[in-house]
Structure 1
Amino acid sequence: MPATEPAPTAIAAHKDAPLRVAVVVGSVREGRHGRAVTDWFLGAAAGHGGLELDVIDLAAVHLPLVMPDWGGAPSPEAAAALADVTPRLAAADAFVIVTPEYNHSFPASLKNLIDWHHGQWHAKPVGFVSYGGLAGGLRAVEQLRLVFAELHAMTVRDSVSLHGPWSGLAEDGVPRDAAVCEGAAKGMLGQLAWWGRALRTGRTTQPYEG
């Protein structure tokens, strides 16, 4: 066995370890539903064993819009924010993005987080929980799929979409039809967990070269 090849025991340990999922709250707007939607999702995910959920709320991540040149040092403000969030993204095996739909797209705060990072997304799966209006945020999700494809991430097919406030999302940000939405969350998490473990094993046996 080559020295660089992981031992079977190391592969087995990765296979049995909990899947680390970073849940990103994408909206920072005042009066947002994003945190309430996230809290509902965390409750729905609690019944799915084998997950370690880490919530990254962008309202508490103060990344500036101004970025340094390639290879340049970030500002002290950016460095402080990156010191908190970057290791958490790097440690994650998978991601769930909670996003509203603003003007047929996703929030600038979410794109900013994505653009400040690169390798942290590589060869990892991404699931979506979206909300907003009659489309339930699905147009934002479709655009995010293109963004994450560029970053060598794998987006799972099924997503959770909350159509409201008129039909599916109550004023407090909790789905009106909990059974249907929890079923959608279960399906998305099942796909995310499968891909998360498969890709983690792949990265363990052979580092991804994106």
Structure 2
Amino acid sequence: MKPKLHIIIGSTRPGRVGPGIAQWFSEFTAEHGKFEPVLVDLAEFNLPVFDEPEHPMKQSYRNAHTKAWAESVRSADAFVFVTPEYNFAPPSSLINALSYLSLEWNYAPAGFVSYGGISGGLRAVQMAKQIVTTLKMMPIPEGVPMPMVFPNLDEAGNLKPIDIYKTSATTMLDELFRWTEALKSLRAQRKAPLKAAA
């Protein structure tokens, strides 16, 4: 059974180009063959700013949106975050989604597909790596930055991948798979049933 890779679209704002980029990466992952790719759109979870009365480490969730998000994250073996850069940082929607949970993220490796202007989202990735490390995730050095991505999108928002995107994606997926296998035993502890809310 292939490990499950959740490809999370980090931006939720209208006019975003993340879905087209994530769709390409999901299809590329399927062709790569080592993971079962699952596209996850944060916009579909509609998470408000964190609104649980207890700390996420307790897993004592009250809200349906939190429970749904926790189940999604807990089912994954590895993650790739598809993120733009807003003001040198990841979008607040992604930071909020990461902060909603704690134990569900533990011992999973994480890669990043980033996009934007001249930096290709790299400054956002550097900040996101600090956050995921605190959640006991392993952010791998390899990534897929896409500087000045907009000319590589068609009118429908679909990505027209250039060779460096494909080369980078292959390198990242190979390394992500190594970490996914290496952390498997630790991740099994994380996948214990969620605690019921009081």
CA contact (8 A) 1:68 1:74 kept: yes
Question: What is the match of residue 196 of structure 2?
Answer: none
Q: Which amino acid aligns with 2:18?
A: G
Counterpart position of 2:195: none
TM-score, normalised by the number of residues in structure 1: 0.81
Does 1:194 pair with 2:139? no
**Structure 1 segments of 4 or more deviating over 4 A?**
71-75, 171-177
Say whether 1:94 aligns with 2:58.
no
TM-score norm. by structure 2 comes to 0.85
Report which of the two structures shows the higher radius of gyration computed on alpha carbons.
1
Q: Note if contact 2:110-2:140 (Cα within 8 Å) is conserved in structure 1.
A: yes
Identity score, percent: 32
Q: Secondary structure at the match of 1:92?
A: coil
Report the Cα distance in structure 1 between the residues aligned to 2:77 and 2:170, rounded to whole angstroms: 18
**Unaligned residue ranges in structure 1 (runs of 5+):** 1-16
- The answer as to 2:180 corresponding to 1:170 is no
Which whole-Å CA distance do the structure 1 matches of 2:11 and 2:181 have between them? Answer: 28
Q: Which moved more, 1:169-178 or 1:17-26?
A: 169-178
What amino acid is aligned across from residue 74 of structure 2 in structure 1? A
Is the Cα–Cα contact under 8 Å of residues 77 and 187 in structure 2 kept in the other structure? no
Going from structure 1 to structure 2, the CA distance change for 1:157 and 1:98 (only over 3 Å counts) comes to same
Deviations 1:132-175 (A, max 9, x none): 00000000000011001111110011000111146x63355555
Deviation readout 1:71-113 (Å, 9 max, x if unpaired)? 59656xxx22223221121111100000000111111110111
Q: Residues of 2 paired with 1:184 and 1:81: CA distance?
A: 34
Moved more, 46-55 or 23-32: 46-55
State the alpha-carbon separation in 2 of the partners of residues 178 and 44 from structure 1. Answer: 13
Distance in 2 (alpha carbons) for counterparts of 1:121 and 1:165: 29
Q: Any conservation in 1 of the 2:83–2:121 contact (CA below 8 Å)? A: yes
Say how many residue pairs are matched. Answer: 186
Gapped runs of 5+ residues in structure 2?
191-198
Relative distance call for 1:144 and 1:66 in structure 2 (3 A) is: closer
Contact kept? 2:109, 2:137, Cα under 8 Å: yes
> Which residue of 2 is the match for residue 14 of structure 1?
none
